[in-house]
Amino acid sequence: MIKYTWKHGLYCISAFLGSEDESVEIFTKSSLGSISPLLWRIPIFLWATISLFMSMNYFWGPTKLFFVYMTHWGLLFIVLESMFGIIVVLRKRGRPDATFGLPWYVKTYWVLYNISIPVAFLITVFYWGILKSSLDTVKFSPNPVLDVMIHGVNSVVMFVELMFSAHPSRLLHIMQPLYFAGAYMLFSVTYYFAGGLDPWGNKFIYPVIDWSKPDQTMVVITLTAIFLALMHLITVAMAAARDSITKQCKPDPTGVYNDGFEP
């Protein structure tokens, strides 16, 4: 059992990776053994890139408003996460990196990984559980295929990334997705007070996050933050279950047991 210290709290609040003791090699391996992560990261990158450009093509408003929606932020993060995941594997096959601790591109991938997975789960549940069920008049994705792709398949591909990867997920990295959500909240506030409108001329981006009704909006944001934190905890739990199963099934498992309390 790991004793919780002030350093753990610092790692959590600052969102530091605390990764000096992690090896680059673990980020280039699969929980399935000798299978290369490129077998799923390349398809995820292609899917996310195509979905992003198709979403822009079928966007229901001016292109300049495309990135006002969190769904599109999340999709862009999947593109970046899978791209850096590919780079991590390919760079490992080249010359050894002399950087102290993890190289910058590995750290970047890990942060994107920590953010993209719980945010994808949040987007799926938020969209189908709140937006889609409460509003019939607003069409956030007129194309029904893209509707499923960017609000449903996004979680499926991130689940694949989570379950097939061999590197750990940490409880103390919880602030990384929360800071992402905080950045989007600040953007939405700034956008509102700057007079920004949605494609239909409304003074909000999402009807449930309407800053003209601050009390209601703060309740929604607080509940969303709690749910996002829960998604991170579930992500860590699934990573722990993945590594536990791997350890039991293989005499020399590729992954390491996911101790979520490590920084």
Task: Spell out the per-residue pLDDT of the chain, length 263, in tens.
Answer: 445 554 555 555 655 665 455 788 899 999 988 899 999 999 999 999 999 999 999 898 899 999 999 999 999 999 999 999 999 999 875 444 554 578 899 999 999 999 999 999 999 998 888 777 665 555 666 688 898 999 999 999 999 999 999 998 999 899 999 999 999 999 999 999 999 999 888 899 988 899 999 999 999 999 999 999 999 999 999 999 998 888 887 655 554 555 555 55
Provide the pLDDT for residue 262.
58
Amino acid at 96: P
Classify residue 30 as exposed, middle or buried by CB count within 10 Å of its CB (0-12, 13-18, 19+): buried
Q: Which of 210, 190, 193, 194 is nearest to 202 (CA)?
A: 210
pTM: 0.87
Provide the pLDDT for residue 233.
96
Separation between Cα atoms, residue 172 and residue 233, nearest integer Å: 10
Hunting for tokens 């590594």 — which residue is that?
A: 243
Query: Quick check: 121 and 158 in contact, CB under 8 A?
Result: yes
Provide the pLDDT for residue 142.
63
Q: Tokens standing for 95?
A: 């010359």
